[in-house]
Amino acid sequence: MSTPSFATLERRLASSVTAAFCNRMLVKGGVQFKAVIDRAVLQVGEYSLTASRQDQLSVVIADAPALAVGDTVAMDPAYYTSAELAAEPKTSWIIDRKESDDGLVAQWWLR
């Protein structure tokens, strides 16, 4: 039996950690994927004293559909009941801009 490559182990780890912290099942274009949504993350301006709060999305790139600025992602109505969706303050988001991408996990700012 051969030992898996480091890249394979890295992908498995990223997927496992995201699955463990997953707090939303989202859908985009009919493709369901697990995600972590952090609500009202404080974003401080790099060169000024301005700050804003935005939701942030973290996904494993291999598990999620291709995401781009302007795309809409939503909580999956096939996964959640109508009562669960009604209890949420927000159930869909528009992707605003990419925060980071290390090749395994990507983070996006949402609006």
pLDDT tens digits, 23-47: 999 999 999 999 999 888 887 777 7
Query: What type of residue sits at position 35?
Result: A
What single DSSP character describes residue 4? Answer: P
Those residues whose C-beta lies under 8 Å from the C-beta of residue 66, and which sit 6 or more positions away, are none
For residue 3, the SS3 value is coil
E strand or H helix at 21: helix 6-21
The predicted model scores a pTM of 0.80
Tell me whether residue 103 is in a domain: yes
86 domain-assigned: yes
- Both tokens of 76, joined, read 């999956």
104 lies in which domain range? Answer: 6-110
Quick check: is 63 in a domain?
yes
Any idea which of 1-5, 64-68, 92-96 has the lowest mean pLDDT? 1-5
Residue 1 falls within a domain, yes or no? no
Q: What is the pLDDT of residue 93?
A: 96
Distance CA 73, CA 31 (A): 10
For 13, the 3-state DSSP assignment is helix
Query: Does 98 reside within a domain?
Result: yes
Q: How many domains does the chain have?
A: 1
Q: What per-residue confidence (pLDDT) applies to 53?
A: 84
